[in-house]
Amino acid sequence: MKRKWEAKLKQIEERASSYERKPLSSVYRPRLSKVEEPPSIWKLFSRQTQAFNFVKSCKEDVHVFALECEVGDGQRIYLVTTYVQLWFYYKSRKNLLHCYEVIPEKAVCKLYFDLEFNKLANPGADGKKMVASLIEHVCKALQELYRVNCSAEYVLNLDSSTDEKFSRHLIFQLHGVAFQDNIHVGNFVRKILEPAIHLLASEDDKDDGGIPETTGHGFSHFSEAPGEQGTPFSRMPADELRESQMLDSGAPERLGAAERSSPDLSFLIVKDTTGKKHLFVDLGK
């Protein structure tokens, strides 16, 4: 009996010594990197500013992503991690499906569009055809204003439609070029969609019994929150950005060329559930 107890005590002491040499981790941290590489980063914040401040303190190539707390409630939390880490979990976790990268203000970015309409309120709308027509119009404008070749093959077309709404997110993967920042993207988009904006204003005035108003539509930020963009993996790699041509939306002599011809963009006007007309393209505030 005494020998058994001594043997048991020895096993306990050996195990305790082993744990002292190699203690158990108090917090589980997923590690996708190799042993010789720095540990992976996966950190959540309640505020966007906190997330970006943390990014500034990191040596790793990390980015900020917005996640919906509950789908449809508008509340968001902000995740800081790497592209590799996000993609690893994005493929298997349903709660990561409703997320997008938050592009820092004044950062170089690609041309993108958020498109959406309610299906029940627009029973005759052909969403796929509308997307194709918009892409064709944008590619034509890029060629006319910047001499940049573009086609539907260059567009990353992400579908997030549901039974109630048609929703697409477009990212234009232009070779070797990008816009200076989010504001320049907004200026370009608003300029090439001027015919639709003016048509919408005209129809609103007619519905109100007034005189159509076709002026006064200035350009501002593309989205209400500076730099937010509706999809992950939207920025070009740093080495590619350095060699890229910056597209400047502030050249009035070139932008004015778009006004010489007014394409029919009436297909971009849709209705919400109350019957109020708005654009298929989200222009922000």
Residue 25 lies in a domain: no
Per residue in 145-162, pLDDT (tens digit) is 999 999 999 999 988 888
Residue 138 shares a structural domain with residue 274: yes
106: β partners: none
Q: Is the pTM of this model over 0.75?
A: no
Q: Are residues 121 and 172 in the same domain?
A: yes
Choose between 22 and 178: higher pLDDT: 178
What Rg do the C-alpha atoms of the chain give, in angstroms? 26
Claim to verify: residue 121 and residue 187 sit in the same structural domain: yes
Task: Establish if 133 belongs to a structural domain.
Answer: yes
Give me the pLDDT at residue 43, please.
Answer: 92
State the pairing for strand pair 42-45/99-101. Answer: unpaired
Query: For 102, which DSSP code?
Result: B
Residues 227-262 pLDDT 10s:
344 333 233 444 444 445 666 665 544 555 545 567
Domain that holds residue 180: 107-202+267-284
pLDDT at 237: 45
How do beta strands 165-172 and 42-45 pair?
unpaired
Could you identify the residue written with the tokens 């919400």? 272
Last residue in a domain, options 55, 77, 102: 102
Report H helices in the chain. Answer: 2-21, 48-57, 83-90, 127-146, 182-192, 194-207, 238-242, 252-255
Q: What is the CB neighbour count within 10 angstroms for residue 3?
A: 7
Distance of alpha carbon 107 from alpha carbon 179, whole angstroms: 9
Q: Do 133 and 169 lie in a common domain? A: yes
Question: Which of 53, 73, 102 finishes a domain?
Answer: 102
User: Looking at the domain assignment, is residue 46 inside a domain?
Assistant: yes
Residue with tokens 């010489």: 260
Whether residues 273 and 134 fall in one domain: yes
Whether residues 113 and 93 fall in one domain:
no
Asked if 156 and 278 sit in the same domain, the reply is yes
In a domain, 231, yes or no: no
- Please indicate, yes or no, whether residues 77 and 133 belong to a single structural domain of this protein: no
Task: Mark whether 77 and 154 lie in a shared domain.
Answer: no
Is residue 30 over pLDDT 80? Answer: no
Residues 85 and 170 placed together within one structural domain of the fold: no
- Name the domain count of the chain: 2
- Report pLDDT for 76: 84
Residues 63, 191, single domain; the answer is: no
Separation of alpha carbons 272 and 119, rounded Å: 9
| Crossing angle of the two packed helices 127-146 and 182-192, in degrees rounded to 10 | 110
The per-residue pLDDT for range 158-206, each reduced to its tens digit, is 888 889 999 999 999 998 899 999 889 999 999 999 999 999 998 876 6
Q: Which residue has the higher pLDDT, 2 or 54?
A: 54
Q: For residue 278, is it within any domain?
A: yes
- The CATH number covering residue 173 comes to 3.30.70
What does the block give as tokens for 46? 């309640």
Q: Is residue 119 part of a domain?
A: yes
